[in-house]
Amino acid sequence: MDTKALFKLGYGLYILTTQDAGKNYGCVVNTVMQITSNPLQILVGVNKNNATHDALLASSICNISVLDDTAPFALFEHFGFQTSKSVDKFAAWPQIKISANNLPYLTEHTNAYLSGKITSTADYGTHTLFTVEITDGDVLAETPSLTYAVYHADVKPKPAAETKPHGYRCMICGYVHPEDNLPEDFICPICKHGAADFEKL
Ligand SMILES: Cc1cc2nc3c(=O)[nH]c(=O)nc-3n(C[C@H](O)[C@H](O)[C@H](O)COP(=O)(O)O)c2cc1C
């Protein structure tokens, strides 16, 4: 099987935000899809190791900011390559507004946001699938939504040719494990995917 076939699936990119005990949480997700129109429901897949995961379980509400094609790599570094366990991501990212449900959403590099409440969860081992009933939302710009394919092709920096990294690269987020061996049970410290999603450099 060529697991690269899975990379042909199409996704958008989003900042999923929520709150717990007065602290805001948020992370990059690509696993978002609308599942029904009546009621309006979407599904969101979140890794159990993400701080945002536990905050979602605690609050049962969330916002989804839909990233547009102006989103810089710095935004992914900020929300996708560090954890709210150790930083307050929103203190250092002032381009937000607070929606009616008291949660932040991004006001830049974002063409829409949705607010919702979690109505059920399903356990998928490493991830939880959240069913979210949409309660509010707004269009912020008419810019095209960013796709995962464009993120990989144009947003994520390419490794410089003269300083070619060695080791194994995570095909999901681009993290490089700079060793000559990759243990079978290796978990990407950034996006939490396993060894099967790494390619040898
Ligand atoms: C391009 C990209 C896509 C990602 N997609 C997902 C996703 O769909 N689900 C998920 O749980 N994490 C995803 N992540 C990883 C989280 O954003 C990342 O682990 C984040 O640092 C978690 O932050 P937190 O601990 O503050 O919640 C993605 C990261 C990037 C850079």
Rounded to the nearest integer, the mean pLDDT of the chain is 95
Instruction: Compute the distance between CA of residue 103 and CA of residue 115 in angstroms, rounded to an integer.
Output: 8
Contact by Cβ (8 Å): 36, 116: no
Q: Which atom of ligand 1 is nearest to the CA of 127?
A: 11
Question: Hey, what CATH topology would domain 159-200 get?
Answer: Rubrerythrin, domain 2 (2.20.28)
The per-residue pLDDT for 161 is: 64
Q: Is the CB of 76 under 6 A from ligand 1?
A: yes
Q: What is the pLDDT of residues 96-136, one digit of tens each?
A: 999 999 999 999 999 999 999 999 999 999 999 999 999 99
Residue of the nearest CA to atom 5 in ligand 1?
A: 29
Residue 138's pLDDT band, with cuts at 50, 70 and 90, is: very high
Q: Is the CB of 128 under 6 A from ligand 1?
A: no
Residue type, 98: I
Can you say whether the dihedral through the CA atoms of 81, 87, 93, 98 is positive or negative?
positive
Instruction: Compute the distance between CA of residue 162 and CA of residue 46 in angstroms, rounded to an integer.
Output: 36
Helix (H, G, I), strand (E, B) or coil at 129: strand
191 CA to middle of ligand 1, Å? 5
The per-residue pLDDT for 163 is: 63
Helix (H, G, I), strand (E, B) or coil at 153: helix
Q: Is the CB of 50 under 6 A from ligand 1?
A: yes
48 CA to middle of ligand 1, Å? 11
Instruction: Compute the distance between CA of residue 195 and CA of residue 98 in angstroms, rounded to an integer.
Output: 38
91: left (phi over 0), alpha (psi -120 to 50) or beta: alpha
Quote the percentage of the chain above a pLDDT of 70: 98
pTM of the model: 0.84
63 CA to middle of ligand 1, Å? 15
Sequence ranges of the domains in the chain: 3-150, 159-200
83 CA to middle of ligand 1, Å? 9
Q: Which of 13, 18, 19, 30 to mutate to test the pocket of ligand 1 (most atoms within 8 A of CB)?
A: 30
Residue of the nearest CA to atom 31 in ligand 1?
A: 80
166 CA to middle of ligand 1, Å? 24
Q: Is the CB of 146 under 6 A from ligand 1?
A: no
Residue type, 18: T
CATH class of the 3-150 domain in this structure: mainly beta
Q: Is the CB of 30 under 6 A from ligand 1?
A: yes
Instruction: Compute the distance between CA of residue 194 and CA of residue 175 in angstroms, rounded to an integer.
Output: 12
Residue 159's pLDDT band, with cuts at 50, 70 and 90, is: confident
CA-wise closest residue to 144 among 74, 73, 70? 70
